[in-house]
Amino acid sequence: MLPLTISGLASSLPEEVVSSTSLEAELNLPAGWIEQRTGIRERRRATRQSVLDLAEPAARLALNRAQRDESDLGLVVGASTGRHQFIPCTAALLQRRMGLPEGRAFAFDVDATCLSFLVGLRVAAQWVAASGTAESGRPTGSALLFSSEMSQHSLNPREPESYVLIGDGAAAAVLEHQPGNGSGMHGAWFTTHASGSEYTCFLGGGTHHHPNNPSTTREMNLFHMNGPAVFKMALKLVPDFMRRVFSEVGWKPHEVDAVVPHQASAPGVDLLVSRCGLHRDQIVSNLATRGNCIAASIPIALSEAVESGRIRRGDRVLLCGTGAGLSLGAVALTF
């Protein structure tokens, strides 16, 4: 087990609540269509905030809960799909926004779409473990990991199945090396099945369909997802992947205290119960009131579960999900 303590967690949500009823009226959908298909009653939307505006309060509160200040950080990792701007990385911009000491922390971003927080957790955990602790017992390389998403300008109203899924929000975690307290990472597993790469995509924004290329259309700059194809592929792949995770970590499914999945949709969350040997009361889900917050989905749900007491120190916790690629990921922790 890699010693790793999540010593502070916090989330930040936009104030504007968008109900499924209002979206049904906007998109001319039948009453109840959204909740019946997705399980979502409402979600938050950031209409006047940037990803930095969402990330900063979550990061400051996570530091406060960890009883650390900005000078304790040796690493800042942004783990989001939506960047604040193309360069520099969003982590560097948050470092400046928060007034972190110049030259003290290294900042960079990772992007694995909905699995970005899990990939960032895996990368940061190794970094923190290598940093160790000072003679005083104080961690010498605390890390700040954050995911922040806003989708206002990226969703396509012509694709209602994805348009109604997405919510906005941010979450942050402070990671530390605290050997001896029982907390740690037991393992992390990631795999990609690129035959599903066209099912979830954003064609614009890169060099292939550059924003300055006159042949780039507005549609290319909008999110596209073939939900039924993604679910069909996940239905085939997820059960075997989860069996591998449980086998390699040495846990039985019933021995897990909490499973925090990517809040993709109600059918996606239900897949863990129907095909993976888990029980409903093991699953942490805030999908009904948060929607699918992309990379921020897992850490927001984790933060809220810890804040409510649903997850406590010493609990066995499994974070898992799928992302564009089609990619699968899981991280097993003793919280």
Beta strands (DSSP E) in 134-267 are 142-149, 169-176, 184-192, 200-201, 224-225, 258-261
Residue 331: strand, helix, or coil: strand
Whether residue 114 lies in the annotated active site:
yes
Phi, psi of 211 (to 5 degrees): -55, -30
Residue 280 tokens, joined: 């409903």
Torsion of CA 243, 331, 292, 233, to 10 degrees: -30
Q: Quick one: tokens of 164? A: 């109604």
Residue 28 vs residues 111, 159, 160, 313: alpha-carbon distances, Å:
34, 12, 10, 46
Joined together, the tokens standing for residue 247 give 């086998």
In 3-state terms, the chain is what percent helix, strand and coil (to 5)? 40, 25, 35
Q: Which of 84, 89, 114, 276 is catalytic?
A: 114
Q: Which residue type sits at 102?
A: E
Our answer to whether residue 293 is catalytic in this structure is: no
- 292 annotated active-site: yes
Backbone phi and psi for residue 249, each to the nearest 5 degrees, phi listed first: -85, -20
CB 110 within 8 A of CB 329: no
Who contacts 332 (Cβ-Cβ below 8 Å, separation ≥6)? 185, 186, 187, 188, 245, 249, 251, 316, 317, 318
- Among the listed residues 84, 177, 292, 293, the single catalytic one is 292
| Helix, coil or strand: residue 293 | coil
Which residues on adjacent β-strands are paired with residue 273? none
CA–CA separation, 335 and 300 (whole Å): 16
Q: SS3 for 133?
A: strand
Structure tokens at 163: 């348009």
| Catalytic residue (choose from 84, 177, 186, 262) | 262
Hey, which residues are catalytic here? 114, 262, 292
